[in-house]
């Protein structure tokens, strides 16, 4: 067949239409390049520069490359071989974003970057076609509506047990796992907000943590909060006391880092000046949960859910909680009202 095409007796398009299975045979015979995510990220950067005719220092490139890097980190865990990617893989990534309260516009933007990234993988012959081009947000939203998204809120008596278990795992993410729990329970931070939190964002005297843009001086990567909104969070004194002890521990260990939860490890101390990757807290916490035989439904994000629910139970109003949580739509905050059960008799607080 290839000889006929070479001699011009038949076109490749006609061959695919006339002879069933011809195109599939060609795909199977095609030798793919092994998946190399570093090469793919560089190709994405070059594509972006060529498309926009901007230099490598542009802010938009920095943001898009940062998003592409996060997509790649997710793919490294969930799809190490690009040739095994399907539309279901792409939908799983988008569901991951939706379940973590990412706004629709943010998810749409990430899908576009996902498509552009895998377009480059096709050009590099790491994959035959682009499954992300076969996925749209409507499919993901329909699936979300069809699945009950039950949030796991911790019971008060479960919290001391978790802190006790943390003491038996002092080496996970360089000893920062208790910091993850504190920032979730006492400030309601998202995973990325924890990882990009800098020491200079903490006002020790007023007990205020500010969520704002955060720069990694070493890589030049600029992280921005979801919806680009600055938030100032008041936290309890015991959380501030813990963070002060944690900063002292960092200093004694020689961690010269601006980040509350630094990247790197004992084997890779050169990465201490970078933020911890946002997937690292959940990986480490899941490892502890498994080792301790705790409920596997408890995740790092449960601490944020618990923070919101406990705040409502304590009488914090919806608008205040919306600002603390960083929700662009108050309807998202209102979903936590579901956990204020009548058995708790919230109406006992009526002043009459």
Could you tell me the pLDDT band of residue 18, with boundaries at 50, 70 and 90? low
- For 141-199, the three-class secondary structure string (H helix, E strand, C coil) is HHHHHCCCCCCCCCCCCHHHHHHHHHCCCCCHHHHCHHHHHHHHHHHCCCHHHHHCCEH
CATH of the domain at 163: 1.10.443.10
Q: What is the pLDDT of residues 98-152, one digit of tens each?
A: 777 677 788 889 999 999 999 999 999 899 899 999 988 776 665 544 444 557 8
Beta pairing partners, 232: 210
Same domain, 231 and 302: yes
Same domain, 270 and 166: yes
Question: Which tokens go with 340?
Answer: 């204020």
Judge whether 321 and 187 are in contact, CB under 8 Å: no
Judge whether 86 and 133 are in contact, CB under 8 Å: no
- Inside any domain, residue 332: no
Same domain, 167 and 47: no
Structural domain for 164, as ranges:
158-313
- Inside any domain, residue 336: no
CATH of the domain at 101: 1.10.150
Stated pTM of the model: 0.64
CA 29 from chain center: how many Å?
37
Q: What is the pLDDT of residues 288-347, one digit of tens each?
A: 999 999 998 899 999 999 999 999 988 899 999 999 999 888 888 888 887 776 656 666
- Inside any domain, residue 274: yes
- Inside any domain, residue 123: yes
- Inside any domain, residue 67: yes
């Amino acid at each position: 067949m290839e000889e006929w095409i070479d001699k011009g007796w038949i076109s490749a398009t006609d061959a695919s239409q006339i002879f069933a299975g011809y195109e599939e045979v060609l795909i199977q015979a095609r030798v793919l390049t092994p998946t190399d995510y570093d090469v793919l990220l560089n190709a994405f950067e070059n594509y972006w520069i060529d498309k926009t005719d901007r230099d490598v220092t542009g802010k938009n490139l920095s943001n898009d490359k940062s998003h592409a890097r996060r997509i790649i980190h997710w793919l490294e865990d969930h799809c190490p071989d690009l040739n095994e990617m399907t539309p279901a893989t792409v939908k799983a990534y988008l569901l991951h974003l939706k379940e973590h309260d990412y706004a629709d516009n943010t998810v749409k933007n990430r899908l576009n970057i996902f498509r552009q990234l895998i377009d480059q993988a096709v050009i590099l012959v790491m994959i035959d076609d682009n499954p992300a081009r076969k996925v749209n947000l409507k499919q993901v939203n329909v699936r979300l509506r069809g699945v009950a998204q039950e949030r796991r809120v911790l019971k008060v008596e479960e919290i001391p047990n978790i802190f006790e278990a943390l003491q038996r795992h002092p080496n996970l993410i360089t000893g920062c796992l208790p910091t993850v729990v504190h920032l979730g329970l006492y400030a309601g931070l998202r995973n990325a907000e924890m990882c990009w939190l800098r020491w200079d964002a903490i006002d020790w005297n007023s007990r205020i943590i500010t969520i704002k843009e955060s720069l990694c001086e070493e890589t030049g990567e600029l992280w921005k909060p979801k919806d680009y909104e600055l938030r100032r969070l008041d936290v309890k004194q015991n959380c501030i006391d813990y963070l002060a002890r944690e900063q002292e521990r960092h200093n004694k260990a020689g961690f010269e880092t601006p980040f509350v939860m630094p990247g790197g490890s004992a084997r890779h101390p050169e990465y201490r000046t970078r933020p911890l990757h946002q997937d690292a807290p959940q990986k480490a916490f899941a490892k502890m949960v498994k080792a301790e035989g705790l409920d596997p439904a408890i995740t790092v994000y449960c601490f944020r859910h618990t923070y919101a629910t406990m705040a409502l139970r304590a009488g914090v109003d919806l608008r205040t909680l919306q600002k603390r949580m960083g929700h662009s739509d108050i309807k998202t905050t209102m979903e936590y009202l579901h956990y204020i059960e009548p058995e708790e008799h919230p109406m006992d607080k009526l002043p009459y």
